[in-house]
Structure 1
Amino acid sequence: MKHFFRKYYRDLFLGKRIFAGIGLCVSLFLFSFFLPWLGDLPYVFLGVLVLLVLIDFVLLYQTKRDVFLRRDVPDRLSNGDDNELQIYVENFYAFGIHVGIIDEIPFQFQKRDLWFKSNLKSGERKTIAYLLRPTKRGEYVFGQIRLYVQSPLRLVARRFNFGEEVTVPVYPSFLQLRKYELMAISNRLSDFGIKKIRRVGHSMEFDQVKNYVQGDDYRTVNWKATARKGELMVNSFTDEKAQHMYCIIDKSRAMKMPFEGLSLLDYAINASLVLSNVALVKQDKSGLITIAEKAGSIVPADRRPAQLGKIMEVLYKEKSRYLELNMEALYTSIRGTLRQRSLIVFFTNFESMSALNRQLPYLKRMAKYHLLLVVFFENTELKVITEKPVLDVEGIYIQTIATKFAYEKKLMVKELAKHGILSILTPPEKLTVNVVNRYLAIKAQQKI
C-alpha cells in the first residue's frame, strides 16, 4: 500500500472535468428522488465516469517512457536585463497530451504564477522561452520543474518532477557590456545614442604615413614623403593610448535609493563595467576603486585581456553600506594608487547642496592632480511631482519643495564647474550612454 501511494497517489491529481462529472452525477441522484422516470440513469452515469477515470489512469501510467523535460539556464544572468530561459519538453506517449508546467524560479523574482500550458502530439518536441529580469546581484537558486500531463480525456493529471536545485550567479550587466563592445569595435556607438565628438585638433600620437585619399585634411600632407614617392602622401594620427581611467564607485547609503527595481549602486556598477570595456577597446588602461565608510576594493589600471574579468569579479560581490561616505579614505586610496595623471569617473549621489559642500574640499584636492568627472543622479520622482497638476494647498507645498530640490541639483553642477570639476547630472536609466558620451568627448578633446 505504501509503495502504491508513493508511485501513483502522490503524483495523481484530479482535473476539472472529473469535478464537473461528479457534480452532474450528484445532480442526477438528487433529481432521481423527484423524477422516478430517471431510473438507473444516475448509476449508469456513475459507472461510466468511474470507467473513464480508470481508462485515463491506465493511459497515463501504461508506459515506462512517457515524457522528457529540461530547463536550459545560462551559466550566469545579467543584472537589470531581460535574460532568456528555455524549457524543452518532448512527448513519448502514443497519443497527444495536454501539459501544464510550473517552474520553481528563485524567490528574488517574487513570482508565484509562472504557469505554462501547451499541447503536444505524439512524438512532438517543443521549446518554451520566457524572460527573467533580476534586479540584485548574487546567487539565485532554481528549484525543480513540475510537469502536469493529461491525456485527451483530461479527467486526471499525472505529475512529473524534473531537475534538481541549480544555483546561478547574477553578474553586473554583461549583456549591455557586449552590446556596447560590439558598437565600440565597429565604431557604431552612435546607434545607441553615443554622440560623435568633433575633434579640436590632431592627437600628438603619430600613426603612419599613407597615400592621400579624398577627404583627408590638406594640412597633414607630408611634403618630403610626397617628393620621394612622387604622389601625394599624408601623415595619419591616432588617439593617444594607454591613458589611465579609473571608475570610483560610492557604496554608501546615498546609493541605496531604488529606481525601477535597481539601486543607484547597481546602475553605477553596470555603467562602470561598460565604460571600462569601452576604455579597453580604445586601448586605454582601466581600473576600479570602491569606497564607503572605509576603503573597499582596488583594481589597478591595466589593459591586459584579463582586466575586465577582474573588474567584473570585484563588482559582482559589492554591496551598498548603511554608513556615510569617507572621503578622506578615498583621497588616501587615490594618492596611494594613482601614480600618474588619470581620468577619474566618480559615481556618487548628492541630495542637497550641504551634502556636496561637505565633500567639496576633497573633490578639489583630487581635481588638482587628476581629471575628475563626478557623476550623480537626477531624482526622476521629483521631476514627476514638479510636472503634475496641483489640486490643493498641500499639493502646492509638495511641488514647491520638489522644485527646490530639483533646482539644487542644477546648482551643484555649476558649483563643481566653478572649481574646474567636470560633472554629469543624469537620470539613472540614461547613465551608461551619458557616461560613455563624456568619456569619448574627453578623449577627442585631449583633456587627459
Structure 2
Amino acid sequence: MPIPNKPLLWLCAAWFALGLAAVVSPGLALAWKIAGAALLVVALADLFAGRQRRGSVSVSREVHHALPVGTWQTVYLRLTAKVRICGWLSDRHPPEFGDIGLPLFFRLEPGRWLKAGYRILVTERGRQEFTAVDLRLCSPLRLWLIAETLPVTSSVRVYPDFARITQYTLLATDNRLSQIGVLQRRRRGEGMEFHQLRDYRQEDSPRQIDWKASSRMGRLISREYQDERDQQIVFLLDCGSRMRARDSELSHFDHTLNAILLLSYVALGQGDAVGLSTFGHEHPRYLPPKKSVATVNRLLNTVYDLQPTLQTPDYLVAAESLLKHLSKRTLIILVTNVRDEDDDTLGPAMTLLRRRHAVTLASLKETVLDELIEAPVTDFDTALTRAASLEYLHARRRQTAILRHGGVQIVDVRPHQLPVALINHYWERKRAGAL
C-alpha cells in the first residue's frame, strides 16, 4: 500500500493554503485549480513510477546462529539495487527482542551494495525466527513511500549466557576471581587427596610437613594436597510455575541456567562429573553425569529451549525419578523457589535424597518483595501490600528454617547472586570433603 511521503504532504498543505487565499481573492481560483490538477497528475505519475520499483532491492541478513540470552547483539543487513533508490528498512526480528537503530534509512546506486546494522537485546531463549524485512521505497520524486515485504528468514538458537563462562575463564587465568565474588579460601589440609611433596613454604601449616622426607633431604619438605576428584554433581532443576518470576530483563529461570552452566564449568575443571535432571514440565529431561570437555555443550543443548511452565512442582516424584538413575554418591543441587506450601513434598524429598547423597537446596529470593517492604507506606493499599509481603517472607523463612533443622544445606539468594553463591558453596563443600 503506498504511503504519502512528507514532500507530498507539504505540497498538499501549500495547495490547501492557496485554496484559502482564493476564497479571499477570487482571482487566485484559476491558479488553485491548475495547481491542483498539476499536483494530481504529478502525484499519480510518481506513484506509478514508484510501483515499478518493487523488486529492485535485494536484502540478505547476517546474524550469529547462536546467541547468549540477556546480551546486545548486532544484526547486519546487506542491500543491493538495480536502480538508484532510497528508502527505509525495518527488520522483523523476534517480537520479544528489543532493538536500537530501526528503521534504517538507505540510499543505493545501481550495481552497488550497502551493509547496515542495528542492535538487538536478546531476551528470550530457545529457537527464534527472523521472518522478513519490510521496505518503504521512495518514489522517483519522493512523493510516495512504496511498501514492500521481502521474506528474508533466519533461524537462531538463543542459549543461556555462556559469556559468563568466558569471563570466569579469563579471571581464573589472571587469578582475579574475587572481582566476581568467588572466594578462594585456603585448604584445611584434611580430607584431601595427596598430590605431591615439595619444599616447605612459609605459609604452610606444620601439619603439612613430612618429617621423614625432611630428614632424608636435609630441609623441610611439605605434603601438597589436592581436592578430591572424580565426584558427581547433578542439578535437579525446577521448571514449574514458581520459576516464571522476572525481576529484570532475565527471568529467575534464566539466572538459574546461567548459574548451572558456570558451576558445571568449574566442577568439570576440578575433575568432577556433572549431570542434570528436570521436573515440573511435561517432558522431564535427564542428562547423566559426565566429565568430558563436551559436557558443557551437551548441557547448553539440553536446556537452551527450556521454559518454565504453569505446573506445580512435585519434589517427591522428582526425587524418586532421579534416584533411579544414581548409584554413586552424588551432590544433588535442587534449584527452586521455596514457598510455605512446600511442606507436603519438599521435606520428604529432601529426606529421601539425603539417605545416600549430599543435598543442597538453592532457593531464589524475589527482589520485588524487598522493594515492596522498603517502599514508604502512604495509604491503606500500600500498608496492605507491606503486610502481605512480610507475612509471605515470614512463612518462607519458617519453611527454610525447618529444612535447615533437618540437615539440609540451603543457598538462599537473589537470582543475580546465584552463580557466585553456588560456586562458593561448591568450593566450601569440596574443600571440607562434604560432596
TM range, smaller chain? 0.7 to 0.9
- Identity over aligned residues, as a percent? 24
8 Å CA contact retained: 1:293, 1:323:
yes
Is the counterpart of residue 369 in structure 1 residue 359 in structure 2? no
8 Å CA contact retained: 1:295, 1:333:
no
Is the counterpart of residue 437 in structure 1 residue 417 in structure 2? no
SS of 1:347's partner is strand
Is the counterpart of residue 193 in structure 1 residue 213 in structure 2? no
How do residues 33-432 of structure 1 correspond to structure 2 at under 5 angstroms?
34-38=24-28, 41-42=31-32, 43=34, 47=38, 69-79=59-69, 81-90=70-79, 98-109=86-97, 115-118=102-105, 120=107, 125-135=114-124, 137-150=125-138, 154-159=142-147, 161-184=149-172, 187-201=175-189, 204-210=192-198, 220=208, 234-260=222-248, 262-292=250-280, 296-352=284-340, 354-356=341-343, 358-432=345-419
**Displacement of 1:260 after TM fit?**
3.3
AA matched with 2:271: Q
SS of 2:433's partner is coil
AA matched with 1:398: T
State TM-score, norm by structure 1: 0.80
**Displacement of 1:346 after TM fit?**
0.5
For residues 307 and 20 of structure 1, what CA distance do their matches in structure 2 show? 63
AA matched with 2:194: F
Structure 1 residues 121, 138: closer, same or farther in 2, change over 3 A?
A: closer
8 Å CA contact retained: 1:98, 1:152:
no
RMSD of aligned alpha carbons: 3.8
For residues 408 and 67 of structure 2, what CA distance do their matches in structure 1 show? 36
8 Å CA contact retained: 1:372, 1:422:
yes
Structure 1 residues 324, 88: closer, same or farther in 2, change over 3 A?
A: closer
8 Å CA contact retained: 1:77, 1:169:
yes
Q: Deviations over 1:119-146 (max 9, x none)?
A: 55866844322122323x3332211112
8 Å CA contact retained: 1:143, 1:166:
yes
8 Å CA contact retained: 2:236, 2:276:
yes
Q: Deviations over 1:315-351 (max 9, x none)?
A: 2354444444333323323432222222111012222
SS of 1:417's partner is helix
Q: Runs of 5+ in structure 2 lacking a partner?
A: none
SS of 1:296's partner is coil
8 Å CA contact retained: 2:243, 2:336:
yes
SS of 1:434's partner is helix
Structure 1 residues 90, 211: closer, same or farther in 2, change over 3 A?
A: farther
Structure 1 residues 245, 26: closer, same or farther in 2, change over 3 A?
A: same
AA matched with 2:71: D
Q: Deviations over 1:233-258 (max 9, x none)?
A: 54433222221111001233333444
Structure 1 residues 62, 169: closer, same or farther in 2, change over 3 A?
A: closer
Structure 1 residues 62, 428: closer, same or farther in 2, change over 3 A?
A: closer
Structure 1 residues 147, 395: closer, same or farther in 2, change over 3 A?
A: closer
8 Å CA contact retained: 2:49, 2:140:
no
8 Å CA contact retained: 1:108, 1:140:
no
8 Å CA contact retained: 2:50, 2:138:
no
For residues 232 and 407 of structure 2, what CA distance do their matches in structure 1 show? 20
AA matched with 1:420: G
Structure 1 residues 156, 256: closer, same or farther in 2, change over 3 A?
A: closer
**Displacement of 1:406 after TM fit?**
1.3
SS of 2:285's partner is strand
SS of 1:366's partner is helix
Q: Deviations over 1:275-316 (max 9, x none)?
A: 222211222110111223899322221101232233223323
8 Å CA contact retained: 2:189, 2:208:
no
2:14 paired residue number: 24
State TM-score, norm by structure 2: 0.82
Structure 1 residues 154, 193: closer, same or farther in 2, change over 3 A?
A: farther
For residues 238 and 74 of structure 2, what CA distance do their matches in structure 1 show? 33
Structure 1 residues 53, 295: closer, same or farther in 2, change over 3 A?
A: closer
Structure 1 residues 59, 403: closer, same or farther in 2, change over 3 A?
A: closer
1:6 paired residue number: none
Task: Single out whichever of 420-429 and 226-235 deviates more from structure 2.
Answer: 226-235
**Displacement of 1:212 after TM fit?**
5.9
For residues 311 and 104 of structure 2, what CA distance do their matches in structure 1 show? 48
Structure 1 residues 387, 223: closer, same or farther in 2, change over 3 A?
A: same
Structure 1 residues 28, 112: closer, same or farther in 2, change over 3 A?
A: farther
